Amino acid sequence: MNAIGVDVGGTKIAAGVVTPKGRILDEVRYPTPHSPGTLIENIAKAIKEVGDGHEVGGVCLAVPGLILASENKVVFSANLHAIEGIPLKHEIEPRIGLPLTIENDGNAAAWGEFRFGVGSEADHLVFVALGTGIGGGVITHGVLMRGAQGSGGELGHVTIQATGPRCACGNHGCLEALASGSAIARRARELAIENPDSALGRLATRRQILGEDVTDLARGGDEVALSVLDETGRWLGVGLAAFVNIFNPEVVAVGGGAMEAGELILKAARREVILRARPPSRDHAEVQVATLGPKSGVLGAAALARDASSGEYLLGD
Ligand SMILES: [Zn+2]
């Protein structure tokens, strides 16, 4: 049976009808409104529009933020406050006429990579997505780790440097504050001021530096831009080493927009994992670039919807 996965992001809502084998049959996108009423309306509209003409068994919403599963709601979302506190199942199900579940977006993307992407051969996967923030998810023994309340797997808010920069969550020195796309841009702006003659420094005199600029300039050989990505990779590796020690994964998948930089970040991250994680976990874990790109949320959410509707939590199609 096909299922609909909906990835609710800070700027857009992407909904897709997905087959059991992970093929997207149809996809629609809507802007993300930042008022609660219109947000619910647009999510329902996207689901109805994309599902039109398809046989669909269920829907899963991948939502940005911390979930309280027993109440089917998001209790905190740094990038989408409008979604906080809404009983999503109760509000949306009557409008779409299909069973609906919710999942954290990092968890859903991890499930996508596990079912259809870089982790499809593994039973133990750690996934982190380096975007504006850092999302993540953990799969052990083929089961998505949700924790007691559904808010587990928040890998981005593990403290890496106790006195480090302030994070969007209010804490200091989270992995997100040191290795996300936003952290790359922030560090690049600092180093641009210290190195006015670098390509990064020259760009900073013309406009504000974005995360993707750093990758472009690093590929062009700018030493300062390269050092920003190397430093990012080191912080990322400190986090990954902890995850390797805790979860003993077969695959550590790194995705998100900042992975455009690929090995320019991952090389340093792998080095740090080798230095800090302990054998035998250290030697077993393969740190790889995630393969589904921005589709992982929709694909993972759809697979979760199917697993929920079939009463099967694990691998059955
Ligand atoms: Zn944080």
- 8 A C-beta contact, residue 36 and residue 59: no
The type of residue at 248 is: N
Which stretches of 149-222 are DSSP H helices? 175-179, 181-194, 199-206, 211-219
* pLDDT, tens digit only, all 317 positions of the chain: 999 999 999 899 999 999 999 999 999 999 999 999 999 999 999 999 999 999 999 999 999 999 999 999 999 998 899 999 999 999 999 999 999 999 999 999 999 999 999 999 999 999 999 999 999 999 999 999 999 999 999 999 999 999 999 999 999 999 999 999 999 999 999 999 999 999 999 999 999 999 999 999 999 999 999 999 999 999 999 999 999 999 999 999 999 999 999 999 999 999 999 999 999 999 999 999 999 999 999 999 999 999 876 654 444 33
- pLDDT value of position 310: 64
Q: How far is the CA of 163 from the centre of ligand 1 (A)?
A: 13
Q: Could you tell me the pTM of the whole model? A: 0.94
Residue 24 to residue 227: CA distance in whole angstroms? 39
- pLDDT value of position 317: 38
Q: How far is the CA of 133 from the centre of ligand 1 (A)?
A: 9
Residue 201 to residue 196: CA distance in whole angstroms? 4
- pLDDT value of position 171: 95
- For the beta carbon of residue 317, count every other beta carbon within 10 angstroms: 13
Q: How far is the CA of 93 from the centre of ligand 1 (A)?
A: 32
Residue 270 to residue 289: CA distance in whole angstroms? 12
In the beta sheet, which residues pair with residue 28?
15
Q: How far is the CA of 36 from the centre of ligand 1 (A)?
A: 24
Q: How far is the CA of 158 from the centre of ligand 1 (A)?
A: 7
The strand pair at 12-18 and 24-31 is best described as antiparallel
Query: Tokens 């472009």 belong to which residue?
Result: 216
> Dihedrals φ, ψ of 308, to 5°?
-70, -45
- pLDDT value of position 313: 46
DSSP category for residue 81: G
- pLDDT value of position 34: 92
Q: How far is the CA of 159 from the centre of ligand 1 (A)?
A: 8
- pLDDT value of position 311: 52
Q: How far is the CA of 183 from the centre of ligand 1 (A)?
A: 12
Q: How far is CA 60 from CA 9, 120, 130, 285, 288, in A?
A: 14, 20, 22, 30, 27
Report helix, strand or coil for 238. helix
- pLDDT value of position 316: 37
Contacts of 38 (CB under 8 A, 6+ apart): none
- pLDDT value of position 107: 97
How far from each other are the two terminal CA atoms of the chain, in whole angstroms? 8
